[in-house]
Amino acid sequence: MRLTFHIRRFNPETDSHPRTQDCHLEVGRGTTVLDALIRIKNEQDGSLAFRYSCRSAICGSCAMEINGSEKLACRTPVRREWERHGTVAVAPLQNLPLIKDLVVDMSSFWGKIIDVTPWPSTAPQKQAQPETSRPSPADQFQNVDACIMCGACVAACTVHEVSKEFLGPAALAKAARFVADQREPSNARQHRLAALEQEHGIWDCTRCNFCVEVCPKDVKPMEAIIRLRRWALDAGLTATGGARHIAGFTELIGRHGRLNETLMPLKIVGFNLPRLFHVLPLGLAMLRKGKVPNPFASALPGMAAVRSIFAAVTRRPRM
């Protein structure tokens, strides 16, 4: 079968912006996108630049955008892409600086991995530090140690697209692996969580789930971020806007059985007067749109059941 491959090309020495090159190639049933790229480079255009190494979905080097989704080229069959999309379009990973053709600069990616200190702490245990909840040894890592550092999750991340300072799914999943490590002293774990809850950390994730969808090793980075948030709250780290949002949302549902959109902004900003004045126009707009619940209305039916659910969760023993 003869197919056309639409390959994004960019040579910083000659091109002012990326362009698309069409390459035609006879492919067999078992041909992968990486197989096709290697043949195009060897048989048609030796200047084509891309990364690959193991060719077995182990090293993560050949991660790229294939038909609009981040995938490993070595495990992506050409025939399947053609049958699903009617085309085979190949481009470099997004959200990372472009070096040439399909090769991106991974320096910022590696830098953020280093920023989360991806090794167990050697700090001595402080006996006075209370032990916070942590998973049992059987399920403590939740597959986050399967990450091959391909960068697909960062390329798919909608937050990283608008905020390059965001630590990103891979780094935060790696951080969760060491927060859950039984060898980590409690005081060091508290320090990790305090650092991760700051700006560009765990509360910046919008839970778009794209990192989970594109991960070739089923690491589920977003779920690791959710666990980090839960551990931070359990550790008493509740001062950030994200933590206040969770606490306020839970309180309002437990008290009223539904979300009070008028009180929710107040729960987040607290007694910060400048921020209160900032959200005042939002409150007035909600009032005009009928979003403000009647404070004298009777309680919603089923509130006893809602409160019993909250009570059961509160009594449930932590891991």
Return the CATH number at 217: 1.10.1060.10
pLDDT of residue 17: 94
pLDDT of residue 138: 43
pLDDT of residue 124: 60
| 21, β-bridge pairs | 7
Q: Write down which residue in 103, 136, 157 finishes a domain.
A: 103
Let me know whether 135 and 230 are in one domain. Answer: yes
pLDDT of residue 203: 95
pLDDT of residue 294: 72
Contact 5, 23 (CB under 8 A): yes
Let me know whether 144 and 71 are in one domain. Answer: no
Reported as type and span, the H/E element at residue 229 is helix 221-234
pLDDT of residue 286: 80
Let me know whether 226 and 255 are in one domain. Answer: no
Assign residue 63 the CATH number of its domain: 3.10.20.30
Reported as type and span, the H/E element at residue 66 is strand 63-66
Query: 3-state DSSP: the chain helix, strand, coil percent, rounded to 5?
Result: 45, 10, 45
- In the chain (319 residues long), the average pLDDT of successive 10-residue segments reads 95 95 94 97 97 95 97 97 96 97 97 94 59 51 89 96 95 94 89 94 95 96 95 91 87 80 77 76 81 73 82 64
Q: Write down which residue in 85, 103, 121 finishes a domain.
A: 103
- Please tell me the total count of domains within the chain: 3
Q: Write down which residue in 201, 218, 234 finishes a domain.
A: 234
pLDDT of residue 78: 97
Let me know whether 197 and 259 are in one domain. Answer: no
Let me know whether 70 and 20 are in one domain. Answer: yes
Q: For the beta carbon of residue 88, count every other beta carbon within 10 angstroms.
A: 22
User: What range defines the domain where residue 284 resides?
Assistant: 241-315
Let me know whether 147 and 210 are in one domain. Answer: yes
Let me know whether 82 and 119 are in one domain. Answer: no
Let me know whether 91 and 180 are in one domain. Answer: no
